[in-house]
Structure 1
Amino acid sequence: MSTVLICPYFGKLPNYFEYVLKSCEYNKKINWILITDDKRKFNYPKNVRVIYMEFYEFRNLIQKNFEFMISLKTPYKLCDYKPIYGYVMRNYIKEYEYWGHCDIDCFFGDLFKFIEEPMKLGVDKIGYLGHLTLYKNRQDINERFKLPLKGKNFKDVFTTDEILVFDESFTELSMNTIYEHYGFEMYKKPIFADISCLYYDFRLYKYNEKFSYKLERRTNRVFIWEEGKVWSEIKDGEKEEFGYVHFQKRSISIPESKIENRIKFLLRPNEICLDYNIDKELKIKYRKLFYKPYFNQKIKAIKFRLRRKRNEN
């Protein structure tokens, strides 16, 4: 199945970006479209197409598709627009059977292995989180974001500065709730390792069929990428392979030597390591009593709830 993932990113690409590209390179059956204003030279593989564009140009590209004025002042608000990339970029993705959106803070394993089954079944939507979701590339499917739900519709999302999490909300108006309400096909089996940003050590969110999730107990988990596969290992030797690992909101140090000719690396909570001993790694306990991102996210969540409460009143 021909597949393309769309990833707009404005500003300086992260220091670990070459490692992301290396993980893309091994996914021969998947293509990427990166839209960015960072014109530095990187080792882009053949399956990654780069479109250089300023943020205002991308905003104008979206605006051309709507008669009302959209609200899109900062790139952060793009999370609400992810589900419409297939609609606004239809001229860029005509030859693909599936399109999707993804984040830059992901290392990809054998992604096709995890999405091949639902694609063969012709499932309309694969996934339900903003860091990677796929849609069948068909006009009626690409326009489902327009469907109303409980007296609201996409215009309510695209005319406010507030982040409404249209790409992945499980309760408010979103592509997930639209698909659930109208009974559209959606593949819910997790194919990813979603690392919590609240803790320094690697703790995964575990999801079920009803979109609810819980945070796993502490482990000495590390991630290994090798020749196009990514998996985690923990202290008792347990291994688990994933389609990709999402390591949001982390500062990652990288080695001085380049990744170009390397075929494997290890991801610690704070760095990428090219040379390592896995037995020694699994004995290290990565802990921090005070982890600043935890408090930042908690404060942000409180502000969000207060803002929503004021708007409701």
Structure 2
Amino acid sequence: MKIALICPYFGKMPNYFNYVLKSCEFNPDINWIIFTDDREKFNYPKNVKVIYMSFTKFRELIQSKFDFNIRLETPYKLCDYKPVYGFVLEEYLEGFDYWGHCDIDCIFGDLKSFLSEPLIKGYDKICYLGHLTIYKNNSENNQRFKLTYEGNSYKDIFSEDKIYVFDEDLHKLSMNTIYKEHNYDFYKKPIFGDISCLYYDFRLYVYDDNCEYRLEKKSNQIFKWENGKVFSIKYNEGILESNEFGYIHFQKRTMKVDHGDLHSVKEFIIKPNNISSEKINVINILNNQEKKLIYAPFFKQKIKALKYKLSRLIGD
């Protein structure tokens, strides 16, 4: 199966981007297509295609596929347009069996291994969150975003500048609720480690097969990428425990990084504030993790979430 993952990113790439690309490199059976206006020279592997394009041009490309005026003032609004990439970017997806959208703040592990079950079973849609969702690449499936949910239409979302989270909402109009309402099954088994941005220490959102989630309690945890696989490592009741993920998503987190040549790097450690390819003893890291009682992003995200909830209430 040929898979292409689309990732538009406008503005300066995060300082850890070369580590992201390193994790892409170890997934040779998957292709990434990145639309960006950042022309800095990065270590792009063969399976990552970069298309230099301004945000304005990318917006015009999307607009050209619709006969009404869309609202897309900032890159942040692109979360509502992710599900239409198969439709608006079809010329870039010729020859691919599946396409998907993903975020740039992810370190990828052995994706093909975690995707083998849904690919073999032929799901039209794999996963359900904005940081990575994959669709079967055919005309009918790529236009399902045009279907309604409880009488609501994508045109309502694209005609407003407000964020609706069309890529991942589980209760209001989104691709997930469209699939549910029209009885299209999709693969719900989590393949990722979704790290909360509310706490300094790494705490995962744990999802079940019904897309419900809970937040882990405080934990002493790090992640390790090694030869194309990514693991969490932590102490659990005095025992060193390791779990593998298809990828990890560490949204909205500032990282310090090594700036050395990653060409020969086969492993690196991901801590709450640092990514390092130096040889470091994992147990020593866990025993000497920095602890923070006050974490500024917690308050920023809580205020942002409150504003979002209020806007939805007012909108309703």
TM class by smaller structure: over 0.9
Question: Of the candidates 282, 285, 297, which is equivalent to residue 293 of structure 1?
Answer: 297
Instruction: Go from structure 1 to structure 2 and tell me whether the alpha carbon gap of 1:42 and 1:256 turns closer, same or farther (over 3 Å shift).
Output: closer
Moved more, 233-242 or 3-12: 233-242
Is residue 308 of structure 1 aligned with residue 315 of structure 2? no
Q: Which amino acid aligns with 2:270?
A: L
Mapping 1:1-313, distance limit 5 Å: 1-235=1-235, 236-275=239-278, 276-312=280-316
Q: Which amino acid aligns with 2:34?
A: L
| In 2, Cα distance between equivalents of 1:229 and 1:291 | 29
Query: How much does 1:285 deviate?
Result: 4.1
Query: How much does 1:311 deviate?
Result: 2.3
Do the aligned residues in 2 keep the contact of 1:2 with 1:96 (CA within 8 Å)?
A: yes
- Unmatched tracts of structure 2, length 5 or more: none
Q: Which amino acid aligns with 2:244?
A: E
| In 2, Cα distance between equivalents of 1:111 and 1:308 | 35
**2:288 aligned counterpart, secondary structure:** coil
Do the aligned residues in 2 keep the contact of 1:127 with 1:133 (CA within 8 Å)?
A: yes
Identity value in percent: 56
Structure 1 stretches of 4+ moved >4 Å: none
| In 2, Cα distance between equivalents of 1:112 and 1:120 | 11
| In 2, Cα distance between equivalents of 1:286 and 1:223 | 15
Q: Which amino acid aligns with 1:52?
A: Y
Moved more, 253-262 or 140-149: 253-262
Q: Which amino acid aligns with 1:133?
A: T
Query: How much does 1:73 deviate?
Result: 0.2
**TM-score, normalising length from structure 1?**
0.98
| In 2, Cα distance between equivalents of 1:29 and 1:108 | 13
Instruction: Go from structure 1 to structure 2 and tell me whether the alpha carbon gap of 1:256 and 1:51 turns closer, same or farther (over 3 Å shift).
Output: closer
Do the aligned residues in 2 keep the contact of 1:220 with 1:286 (CA within 8 Å)?
A: no
CA deviation map 1:164-205 (0-9, x unaligned): 000000111000011111111200000000000000000000
CA deviation map 1:280-303 (0-9, x unaligned): 112234431111111001101111
**2:256 aligned counterpart, secondary structure:** coil
* C-alpha RMSD of matched pairs (Å): 0.9
CA deviation map 1:109-140 (0-9, x unaligned): 00010001111111110000000000000110
Do the aligned residues in 2 keep the contact of 1:220 with 1:284 (CA within 8 Å)?
A: no
Q: Which amino acid aligns with 1:296?
A: K
Q: Which amino acid aligns with 1:155?
A: K
CA deviation map 1:74-102 (0-9, x unaligned): 00000000011011001110100000000
Query: How much does 1:305 deviate?
Result: 1.7
Query: How much does 1:257 deviate?
Result: 2.2
